[in-house]
Amino acid sequence: MKKGKVVLLLIAIITVVTITLRVYANNNSEIDDIINELEQSSSTLLDSNLFTQPDDLRPYEQPEIDMSEYTEVYRNTNLTFYVNMNTFAIRVKYNNYIWSSSPFQDLENFSRAWRNKLNSPFSYTYFSKDDNDVSRSMLDNQEILKLNMEVNDNVINFKVDIIDKDENGFSLSYYITINDHGFTLNVPHEEIIEYGNFRLFTISFFEFFGSAKLDQIPGYYFIPSGNGALVRFSAHPKVNTPFVSRFFAQDLYYATNLSGISLNYPVFGTVHGINQNAYLVNVTSGAEYAEYNYWPPKFRTDYHMQYVNFYLREKYQQAVPSGNSVTVIEKNIKPYDMSFDVTFLANENANYIGMAKTYKNYLLNEGILQNRWEDKELAVHLDVLGGDYEAGLFFKKFHKMTTVDDILVINDDLTSQGIKNIYYTLRGFNKGGNVDASYKNYKFNKKLGDVNKLKDLHIAFYYDATVIHRNKLNAPIGTLKTIDNRFSYEMLDGGKYYRYYMDIDRIVKELPDAKKYFNQYGTIALAGLSNLFYSNENHMRSEMYAIYHNLFDEPIAMYNPNVIMLEDTSKFLTIPFQHERLRFFSDNVPFLQIVLSGYIPYYSSYLNFSANKQMDTLRLIDFGGHPAYLITYQPSHLLSKTFSNNYYASYYGNIDDNIVETYQFVYNALEKVLGEEISNREVLAKGVVRVTYANNVQIIVNYTDTDYDYEGAIVSARNYLVRE
């Protein structure tokens, strides 16, 4: 009998814990991620794509290449540029390695259509008479194809005409400008001319440039997912369909699906032989209308391939009175120029670190990346939730989670224990709490205290002007209307809440007043607008660059900003410390952190929500970031029935010791390198990483469960060693 009671008690406990997890998290995918990570042993976890794997450093010797069909058109000290005069395919010799826009081998194994595609400098899609999109390559219509090329020193002008006997088709000119370490491709929009009823949809150049057959080349692709991802060349890919993602996400004005992956930095790269040969592609114009494409081997070919695809028009579904919908295609080509740089890298720079340095140099030269370090101190970012409402049958119940006086208590507690620098961001301190925060509802809720008491602290106010939340389908004033005249929104928490996206014109009108108000007490910490980039009926997406930049006259803290907002960023909050965890990614790399290091201080996502705090703290040291927490002074279970129910581990009373311990652990590691650039990063063994800074300080991070002998010194398990 007693045994039966014990069993029943255990079942009850397990049930309560399970329900509690679901109530607090309220996010099934998040729980699945936590369970998956907890079930993995350290060894299995270190083998996963959440970590950087040891490199395959085998020397790669390129087979002899037949260049008989290619003509040298330009040469400088570092590279030689070749063109096939019959197809306009290109080859570039750099560091005695030949890069080609078409594969070197196996062409006889492809169909005629695929041979045309492989040899074409560009492919395109167009709309048929019945509005279906049709894919073609430049060489598919050789009977009506006219090619012309002019060379003027280092600039090559390629002119292509594809016009049929009925005067339907198009012509375009594209220019390749060659420099010491690569080339720039540019397509002026005014030189794309359509004839008759022809309507171009998309165009992509050099789809097979840098392609790699199965696992024949030791190397990888770099993809800018999250902080950075690698796809190592394998004969057995983990996916058999392409990965396609828009840069800066879908434009909300056109989008019907608001979920999906956003690539915030329009770059990607290829390595053929690690530390031997590589290049970086940087989309410098037209990224707002472009998408990244990766094709795995076994999908139509045996090659890994990646390229950028530019949209010249958008198509969308328009509702009609019958209840059905019709496809609508934009009448005119979008007036923007397409351009991307290809920068070749060799030897010790032929890796993702060299790519990050190359992109950093570009951002510095363009004035986008600027030094924002105010002092070289480790800081803790505390994102403090003031309160939120619990919806009731007749009345709402406000849960006061953190007051002004509570913040002062927290500050005294942490500073007395040695934390020297705390950066506070306040959210949910407006009337109506976190759920009611919006572009116009931001003024301080006096029920939470006198905000003037915080004047001696370093505070900013969380401000997301892009969204308003409702607990019913009722679009607020200022909601963005999509091109098909629908309100832009998404459903949250199984329909308990709705997130409405605001029109940019409404945001621009209100933002100056919000800045003026916040500047009385602190500054703005910008969310939403920092990484959402969308248009409306009055402004094209390409016109939004100037509108966004005119919003700010001085740099401010931003949550996960994209490259568009980087120039106005003083602190990078909630920087991603991993990629989007897609199955075909092989490695997680700190590309973004290397780019920012030495210039913009960056802060982690909230460590108190981590499923593996020890590993994520080590990753924080590995990547050179500041720790961050989202906290409440009252227990987090009070939020279980509010909009903020996903803040399930925010109670300061449970995490105060961890904040102090983590700060000291990270401070001792990074004290000598704060404000310094990361100059190199190497995987010494599985789970052991060496990071070198510009001042020659090295940090060896040991993620494993066993001690590591580094040049006679022991790096303890789950620990680090600093070498000066």
Q: Mean per-residue pLDDT for 123-151?
A: 95
d(CA 501, CA 466): 6
Q: Give residue 698's identity as a one-letter amino acid code.
A: Q
What single DSSP character describes residue 563?
T
For residue 15, pLDDT beyond 60 = no
Summarize the confidence of residues 527-546 as an average pLDDT: 95
At 198, the amino acid letter reads: F
**With bands split at pLDDT 50, 70 and 90, how would you rate the model's confidence at 28?**
very low
Q: In the numeric block, which tokens belong to residue 309?
A: 């695809």
User: pLDDT-based confidence at 41, cuts 50/70/90?
Assistant: low
Instruction: Give the model's confidence band at 456: pLDDT under 50 very low, under 70 low, under 90 confident, else very high.
Output: very high
Give 25's pLDDT tier (boundaries 50, 70, 90): very low
**What's the token pair of residue 609?**
């929500």
Mean pLDDT of 607-635: 98
In the numeric block, which tokens belong to residue 86? 């019959």
Q: Is the pLDDT of residue 519 over 70?
A: yes
d(CA 118, CA 89): 9
Instruction: Give the span between the Cα atoms of 263 and 223, in whole angstroms.
Output: 9
Q: How far apart are CA 357 and CA 365, in angstroms?
A: 12
**Average pLDDT in the 21-29 region?**
38
Statement: residue 621 has pLDDT above 80? yes
pLDDT at 640 over 90: yes
Is pLDDT of 19 > 50?
Answer: no
Q: Which is nearest to 232 in space by CA: 282, 296, 275?
A: 296
**Cα–Cα dist 587/230, whole Å:** 5
Cβ-contact 566, 368 below 8 angstroms = yes
pLDDT tens digits, one per residue of 673-703: 999 999 999 999 999 999 999 999 999 999 9
pLDDT at 124 over 50: yes
Question: Tens of pLDDT along 345-356?
Answer: 999 999 999 999
Sign of the dihedral through C-alpha 522, 526, 527, 529:
positive
**pLDDT value, residue 43:** 66
Answer whether residue 724 shows pLDDT above 70.
yes
DSSP-assigned states of every residue in 623-681: HT-EEEEEEBSS-GGGGTTBTTTT-TT-BHHHHHHHHHHHHHHHHHHHTTTTTPPEEEE
With 80 as the cut, is the pLDDT of residue 10 above it? no
Q: Which two tokens stand for residue 524?
A: 């703005």
Q: How far apart are CA 205 and CA 124, in angstroms?
A: 9
Residue 635 in this model has a pLDDT that exceeds 90: yes
Q: Which DSSP category does 430 fall into? A: B
pLDDT value of residue 216: 96
DSSP 3-state assignment of 237?
coil
d(C-alpha 698, C-alpha 708), whole Å: 15
Whole-angstrom distance, CA of residue 563 vs CA of residue 104: 36
Query: pLDDT at position 318, please?
Result: 83
Q: Considering the chain, what percentage of its residues have pLDDT values greater than 70?
A: 93
DSSP 439-484: SS--SB-GGG--GGGGTTSEEEEEEETTEEEESSS-PPTTBPBPTT
Q: Under a CB-based contact definition with an 8 Å cutoff, are residues 717 and 704 in contact?
A: yes
